């Protein structure tokens, strides 16, 4: 193998698994260390800069970082990264003084349609630069689906108000106005238009009885937003929720709080394949909601215009010759579940009835606008899409990431720069050595298992739909959980010309990550290291040739970043260096230096 | 020196031996020696050898004297018996322990000061008595604990860190061990585990006085230009007579060597030493030739390493003294006190 090119920002970025997995590339270990140090405001600001909604995401994020967390590979459970983010949000002091100020107006006007996370991110990035940003939404308050879809027992209104407020305080104009024509907006002469309208249409099920029993059959996301606005405050005693995603989980848990006593979630597929995050399924089951699998809705039973139950066909998963999974009927008798109300959470779709077909936007064959995955520009110059509106339903953090990139495109475009030329991230790599065996980070590895977030007593929690269920970590638990972080950003940097091949690092490494051996091809090398390195998604760090013509090979996979290799190194060939990577957002640093 | 305990986490696919132990189970507390010390590598090699041989840690007694080297038994085999003796007196204490309980595996760990200076006589007598043991000298040619004076194994002309040349002749412990009748004699280098680990394994299986002189650079005081025990010097002047694979039982032989260069030595416990001969004319079973080879390599300014001499039918002290097979410490009054009737009989025979 060739010596590893550690100057490539992507190399060490990949080692910080959580940051690499985060769509917005939040510097996770850095803010976790700040939490451990009690610097909650600083931890919050790192998050705020990167993901705009730390308090909201600290409660609701899809957490792509956690399955990626190295801790999950060396122990059992990843660090509770998401809930640590909430610790930063809960215990920060007044951070308004740390936020940017509205910029001096530069005369450019930007319209953002939809006031969800994508649009608000665009607004947050551009307003301090002097852009005049107007955000339109059909609802009276900004926040989009974060406000209307996520039940208040998971995300209190105060948190949304606070974090949406930080964005609007940057001089962003919010207008409560439903946009019915994109052409009309384009004609208003904005310098750029960003569409962040989400995926607002809940899928329906066309099965017998649907029309007749319509009064008791609700589309999940519409029902959730009616609940959110207080238009709906009760539901029947027996509720069936159809669907296996996070919306279904929100529907069933909301039902439990609005009078639903027998609430059941019924899913076509198996439990493991459900789209809902494992922790959301857990939370639902914790509230006494059974999840029933392999049942496909066949008909709605009704009498006198009232729903009486749902008929399900029993299916099983069968793999065909190509390994594709298929659900086929088992032939067993149908299952009838009696109920008073049905909530359908079987998927969301984009819907752009307000976009005229003749204004030059190309649509793909699913009726989705064609959007560049790098610049987020549509086929119309100056018209950008982001969030669920761009590539279908994902999650908040993805919408934020889209917003940052679209803001970069808008800023560059309005300065007559090529928006295809993307800025590289800002990186920094600096030694953490403080003494012979002292580092500026706490390199002792905590053996603690993942801490559970304390919950409000279920009886109290189920009484009021606005009572937040999770209490969040207190400071003590937050510190203990933060100490579980392995500081993967403290990189093991190897300088081959300093190495005397004394083997000290090999002997001390608790994970047998380091091998000195003759070089070879990667596939073959992976099998003759001190410990096998079968996880090819994790790189091998290979040095240049050493004095004995061997090379140092380090498997990054399960390195604890404990720094013992560097502590035991007599020549400083190993050093622990903090890798800090920050994405370049809109502003002077995203522009070309020419 | 590191203050942190070594993290308890280990590789998820860590290998275990037939006892269900991983190599981590053969470790001790974290070393307090200087970072990069050759001795720590030797500890690592001992851990690897014991792990690979699936030795039960509680069947090992590790004994040492005084010095950096003699601190090391703390850092390996944390579950074994240990005795940190008086300076230079490890061989006598080991001999006594071996006499009392012949069933343990005795691992004597010493240094060039402990064995070639203050304990030179002790070293000599334990070897010449043929005590069944593995005697490892971690030889760095310097008094590290007292900041770098020449030791008795420093080569003549070798320079101290300050640049002063040594004027005394060195003691070659390998030559001494050959002279004194050791039945397994080897030299190796802390920076070459590929050679050292099989040597330690073979020495452990050897039922007699096994001696390994292991050159172990002192990174603090003897790893500079002008030193003859530095990493660079030893690597540049290492004349390996052979390398070996130590094979227990019927394990498949995987190493692939040129024909005619491999010699198999079967040991009485069924294991095999597969010697890969680098110096074609070196016969490991000829003590006189071994001494000659040693001098020949030395006169070229090189360091002979590898298995230098092996007597595969060794005698040990217990055999020489014709002791009972049961460990002496387990003989009880009934075994040792014949009773008054027997005494009367003896007395009667003398009347």
Nearest one of A464, A463, A154, A471 to A284, comparing CA atoms:
A154
Chain A residue whose CA is closest to B189? A502
Q: Is B100 on the interface with A (CB under 8 A)?
A: no
Instruction: Please answer yes or no on whether B12 and A532 come within 8 Å at the CB atom.
Output: no
pLDDT computed for residue A305 by the predictor = 87
Q: Is B3 on the interface with A (CB under 8 A)?
A: yes
- Token code pair at residue B146: 């007292």
Average pLDDT over residues A163-179: 96
pLDDT computed for residue B256 by the predictor = 53
- Long-range Cβ contacts of B322-331 (<8 Å, 24+ apart): B323/B99, B323/B102, B325/B102, B327/B100, B327/B101, B327/B102, B327/B103, B328/B99, B328/B100, B328/B101, B328/B102, B329/B100, B329/B101, B330/B101
Residue B251 pLDDT > 80: no
Alpha-helical runs (H) found in A130-212: 145-148, 157-168, 182-187
SS3 category, A507: helix
- Token code pair at residue A248: 């279904």
Rounded Cα–Cα distance for residues A385 and A119 (Å):
9
Cβ contacts of A518 on chain B, cutoff 8 Å: none
Rounded Cα–Cα distance for residues A450 and A37 (Å):
19
At A84, the pLDDT band (50, 70, 90 cuts) reads very high
Residue B244 pLDDT > 90: no
The CATH number covering residue B295 comes to: 3.40.50.970
Q: Is B34 on the interface with A (CB under 8 A)?
A: yes
- Token code pair at residue B202: 């073979």
B141: left (phi over 0), alpha (psi -120 to 50) or beta: left
Rounded Cα–Cα distance for residues B115 and B147 (Å):
18
Nearest one of A87, A25, A13 to A481, comparing CA atoms:
A87
pLDDT computed for residue A459 by the predictor = 84
Q: Is B13 on the interface with A (CB under 8 A)?
A: yes
Tokens 């510097």 -> residue? A27
Taking only the tens place, the pLDDT of each residue in B104-162 is 999 999 999 999 999 999 999 999 999 999 999 999 999 999 999 999 999 999 999 99
Tokens 């007597």 -> residue? B311
Average pLDDT over residues B312-325: 94
Tokens 């609007």 -> residue? A168
3-state secondary structure A519-548: CCCHHHHCCCCCCCCCCCCCCEEECCCCCC
Tokens 């999770």 -> residue? A470
Cβ contacts of A437 on chain B, cutoff 8 Å: 1-4
Residue A565 pLDDT > 90: yes
Average pLDDT over residues B2-21: 92
Residue B211 lies in a domain: yes
Which numeric CATH code is attached to A202-346?
3.50.50.60
Domain ranges of chain A: 1-23+424-594, 100-200+350-413, 202-346
Count the alpha carbons within 13 Å of B184 in the hemisphere toward its beta carbon: 28
Q: How far is CA A288 from CA A144, A150, A262, in A?
A: 30, 20, 9
CB contacts < 8 A, A to B, total: 101
Taking only the tens place, the pLDDT of each residue in B15-27 is 999 999 999 999 9
At A397, the pLDDT band (50, 70, 90 cuts) reads very high
pLDDT computed for residue B249 by the predictor = 63
Cβ contacts of A73 on chain B, cutoff 8 Å: 12
Average pLDDT over residues B189-217: 95
Residue B46 pLDDT > 70: yes
pLDDT computed for residue B141 by the predictor = 95
Instruction: Please answer yes or no on whether B35 and A570 come within 8 Å at the CB atom.
Output: yes
| Domain containing residue B157 | 23-330
Query: A288 CB contacts (<8 Å, ≥6 apart)?
Result: A256, A458
pLDDT computed for residue B258 by the predictor = 59
Cβ contacts of B231 on chain A, cutoff 8 Å: 500-502
Q: How far is CA B335 from CA A303, B318, B327, in A?
A: 98, 18, 12
Q: What angle do CA B327, B332, B334 make, to 5 degrees?
A: 130
**For the CA atoms of chain B, what is the radius of gyration?**
21
- Token code pair at residue A456: 């409000």
At B275, the pLDDT band (50, 70, 90 cuts) reads confident
Residue B37 pLDDT > 70: yes
Nearest one of B215, B219, B224 to A572, comparing CA atoms:
B219
The beta-carbon neighbor of A532 closest among B3, B6, B13 is B13
Rounded Cα–Cα distance for residues A419 and B261 (Å):
67
Q: How far apart are the first and last CA of chain B?
A: 71
Task: Output the DSSP codes for B194-223.
Answer: HHHHHHHHHHHH-SSEEEEEEE---TTTS-
CB B117 within 8 Å of CB B88: yes
pLDDT computed for residue A384 by the predictor = 97
**Sheet strand arrangement including A490-494:** A426-431, A574-582, A490-494
Q: What percent of chain A has pLDDT over 70?
A: 100
Distance of CA A165 to the CA centre of its chain: 21
Alpha-helical runs (H) found in A550-593: 564-567
B257/chain A closest Cα distance in angstroms: 18
Which residues 167-206 of B have a C-beta within 8 angstroms of A?
190-191, 193
At A6, the pLDDT band (50, 70, 90 cuts) reads very high
Nearest one of B308, B283, B313, B75 to B195, comparing CA atoms:
B308
Average pLDDT over residues B223-241: 93
Chain B residue whose CA is closest to A559? B11
Residue B6 lies in a domain: no
Which residues 206-225 of B have a C-beta within 8 angstroms of A?
217, 219, 223
Query: A206 CB contacts (<8 Å, ≥6 apart)?
Result: none
At A594, the pLDDT band (50, 70, 90 cuts) reads low
SS3 category, B97: helix
Instruction: Please answer yes or no on whether B36 and A437 come within 8 Å at the CB atom.
Output: no
Residue B250 pLDDT > 60: no
**For the CA atoms of chain A, what is the radius of gyration?**
26
SS3 category, B92: helix
B5/chain A closest Cα distance in angstroms: 8
Residue A82 pLDDT > 80: yes
Instruction: Please answer yes or no on whether A507 and B10 come within 8 Å at the CB atom.
Output: no
Instruction: Report which DSSP code applies to B313.
Output: S
Instruction: Please answer yes or no on whether A570 and B13 come within 8 Å at the CB atom.
Output: no
Query: A76 CB contacts (<8 Å, ≥6 apart)?
Result: A449, A450
Rounded Cα–Cα distance for residues A559 and A429 (Å):
18
- How many domains does the structure of chain B reveal? 1
Q: Dihedral of CA A355/A356/A357/A358: which sign? A: negative
Instruction: Please answer yes or no on whether A502 and B41 come within 8 Å at the CB atom.
Output: yes
Cβ contacts of B36 on chain A, cutoff 8 Å: 500, 502, 504, 568-571
Cβ contacts of A445 on chain B, cutoff 8 Å: 7-9
Residue B13 lies in a domain: no
Mutate to test the interface with A, among B3, B9, B194, B221 (most CBs of A within 10 A): B9
Q: Which CATH superfamily groups domain A100-200+350-413?
A: FAD/NAD(P)-binding domain (3.50.50.60)
Mutate to test the interface with B, among A445, A507, A518, A532 (most CBs of B within 10 A): A507
Cβ contacts of B44 on chain A, cutoff 8 Å: 503, 506-507
A326/chain B closest Cα distance in angstroms: 34
Task: Output the DSSP codes for A387-400.
Answer: THHHHSS--HHHHH
Q: Where are the beta strands (DSSP E) in A332-436?
A: 335-338, 341-344, 348-349, 383-385, 426-431, 433-435
More reliable by pLDDT, A401 or A325 = A401
- Token code pair at residue A558: 């399960």
Residue B255 pLDDT > 70: no
A138/chain B closest Cα distance in angstroms: 52
SS3 category, B22: coil
Residue B264 pLDDT > 60: yes
Taking only the tens place, the pLDDT of each residue in B303-314 is 999 999 999 899
Cβ contacts of A534 on chain B, cutoff 8 Å: 13
Q: Compute the mean pLDDT over every residue in chain B, rounded to the nearest whole number.
A: 92
Instruction: Please answer yes or no on whether B6 and A500 come within 8 Å at the CB atom.
Output: no
Chain B residue whose CA is closest to A512? B11
Residue A73 pLDDT > 60: yes
Instruction: Please answer yes or no on whether B232 and A547 come within 8 Å at the CB atom.
Output: yes
Q: Compute the mean pLDDT over every residue in chain A, rounded to the nearest whole number.
A: 94
Residue B296 lies in a domain: yes
> Helices (H) and strands (E) in chain A — how many of each?
22, 24
Taking only the tens place, the pLDDT of each residue in A91-138 is 999 999 999 999 899 999 999 999 999 999 999 999 999 999 999 999
């Amino acid at each position: 193998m060739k010596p590893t090119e550690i100057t490539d920002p992507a190399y060490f970025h990949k080692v910080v698994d959580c940051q690499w997995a985060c769509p917005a590339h939040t510097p996770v270990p850095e803010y976790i260390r700040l939490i451990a140090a009690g610097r909650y405001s600083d931890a919050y600001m790192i998050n705020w800069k990167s993901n705009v909604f730390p308090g909201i995401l600290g409660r609701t994020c899809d957490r792509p970082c956690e399955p990626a967390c190295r801790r999950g590979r060396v122990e059992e459970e990843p660090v509770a990264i998401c809930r640590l983010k909430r610790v930063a949000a809960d215990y920060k002091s007044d951070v308004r003084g740390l936020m940017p100020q509205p910029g001096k107006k530069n005369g450019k006007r930007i319209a953002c349609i939809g006031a969800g996370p994508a649009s608000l991110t665009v607004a947050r990035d551009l307003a301090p630069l002097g852009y005049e940003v107007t955000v339109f939404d059909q609802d009276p308050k900004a926040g989009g689906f974060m406000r209307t879809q996520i039940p208040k027992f998971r995300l209190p209104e105060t948190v949304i108000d606070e974090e949406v407020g930080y964005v609007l305080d940057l001089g962003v104009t919010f207008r409560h106005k439903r946009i019915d024509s994109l052409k009309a907006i384009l004609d208003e002469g904005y310098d750029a238009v960003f569409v962040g309208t989400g995926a607002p249409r809940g899928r329906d099920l066309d099965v017998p009885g649907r029309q007749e029993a319509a009064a008791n059959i609700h589309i999940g996301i519409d029902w959730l937003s009616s609940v959110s606005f207080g238009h709906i405050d009760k539901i029947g005693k027996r509720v069936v929720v159809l669907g296996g995603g996070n919306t279904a989980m929100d529907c069933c848990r909301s039902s439990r709080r609005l009078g639903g006593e027998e609430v059941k979630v019924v899913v076509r597929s198996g439990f493991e394949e459900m789209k809902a995050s494992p922790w959301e399924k857990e939370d639902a089951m914790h509230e006494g909601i059974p999840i029933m699998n392999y049942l496909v809705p066949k008909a709605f039973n009704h009498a006198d215009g009232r729903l009486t139950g749902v008929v399900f066909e029993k299916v099983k998963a069968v793999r065909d010759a190509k390994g594709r999974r298929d659900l086929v009927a088992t032939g067993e008798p149908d299952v009838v579940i009696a109920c008073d109300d049905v909530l359908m959470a079987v998927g969301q779709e984009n819907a752009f009835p307000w976009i005229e077909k003749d204004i030059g936007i190309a649509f793909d064959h699913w009726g989705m606008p064609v959007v560049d995955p790098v610049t987020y520009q549509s086929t119309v110059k100056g018209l950008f899409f982001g969030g669920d509106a761009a590539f279908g339903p994902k999650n908040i953090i993805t919408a934020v990431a889209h917003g940052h990139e679209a803001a970069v495109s808008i800023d560059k475009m309005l300065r007559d720069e090529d928006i295809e030329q993307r800025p590289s991230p800002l990186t920094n790599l600096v030694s953490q050595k403080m003494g012979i065996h002292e580092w500026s980070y706490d390199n002792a590895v905590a053996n603690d298992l993942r801490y559970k977030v304390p919950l409000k007593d279920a009886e109290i929690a189920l009484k009021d739909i606005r009572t937040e269920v999770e209490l969040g970590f207190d400071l003590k638990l937050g510190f203990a959980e933060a100490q579980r972080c392995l500081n993967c950003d403290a990189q093991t940097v190897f300088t081959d010309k300093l190495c005397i091949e004394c083997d000290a690092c090999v002997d001390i490494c608790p994970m047998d990550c380091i091998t000195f051996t003759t070089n070879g091809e990667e596939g073959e090398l992976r099998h003759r290291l001190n410990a096998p390195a079968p996880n090819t998604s994790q790189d091998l760090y290979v040095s240049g040739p050493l004095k004995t013509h061997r090379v140092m090979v380090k498997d990054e996979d399960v390195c604890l970043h404990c720094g013992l290799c560097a502590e035991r190194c007599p020549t400083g060939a190993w050093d622990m260096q903090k890798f800090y990577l920050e994405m370049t957002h809109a502003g002077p640093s995203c522009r070309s230096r020419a | 020196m590191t203050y942190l305990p070594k993290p308890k986490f280990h590789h998820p696919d860590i290998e275990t031996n037939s006892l269900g132990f991983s190599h981590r189970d053969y470790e001790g507390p974290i070393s307090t020696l200087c970072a990069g010390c050759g001795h720590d590598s030797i500890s690592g090699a001992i851990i690897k050898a014991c792990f690979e041989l699936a030795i039960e840690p509680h069947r090992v007694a590790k004994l040492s004297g005084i010095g950096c080297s003699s601190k090391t038994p703390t850092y390996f085999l944390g579950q074994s018996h240990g005795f940190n003796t008086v300076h230079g007196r490890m061989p006598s204490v080991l001999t006594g322990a071996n006499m009392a309980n012949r069933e343990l595996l005795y691992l004597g760990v010493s240094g060039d000061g402990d064995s070639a200076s203050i304990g030179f006589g002790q070293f000599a007598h334990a070897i010449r008595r043929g005590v069944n043991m593995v005697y490892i000298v971690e030889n760095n040619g310097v008094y590290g604990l007292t900041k770098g004076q020449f030791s008795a194994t420093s080569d003549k002309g070798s320079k101290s860190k300050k640049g002063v040349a040594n004027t005394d002749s060195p003691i070659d412990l390998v030559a001494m061990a050959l002279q004194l009748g050791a039945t397994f004699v080897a030299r190796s280098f802390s920076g070459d585990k590929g050679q050292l680990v099989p040597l330690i394994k073979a020495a452990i299986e050897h039922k007699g006085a096994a001696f390994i002189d292991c050159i172990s650079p002192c990174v603090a005081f003897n790893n500079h230009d002008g030193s003859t025990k530095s990493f660079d010097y030893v690597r540049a002047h290492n004349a390996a007579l052979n390398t070996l694979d130590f094979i227990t039982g019927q394990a498949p032989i995987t190493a692939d060597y040129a024909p005619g260069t491999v010699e198999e030595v079967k040991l009485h416990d069924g294991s095999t030493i597969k010697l890969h001969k680098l110096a074609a004319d070196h016969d490991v079973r000829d003590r006189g030739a071994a001494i000659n080879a040693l001098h020949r390599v030395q006169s070229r300014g090189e360091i002979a390493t590898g298995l230098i001499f092996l007597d595969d039918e060794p005698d040990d002290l217990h055999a020489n003294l014709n002791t009972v097979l049961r460990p002496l410490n387990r003989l009880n009054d009934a075994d040792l006190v014949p009773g008054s009737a027997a005494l009367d009989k003896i007395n009667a025979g003398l009347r």
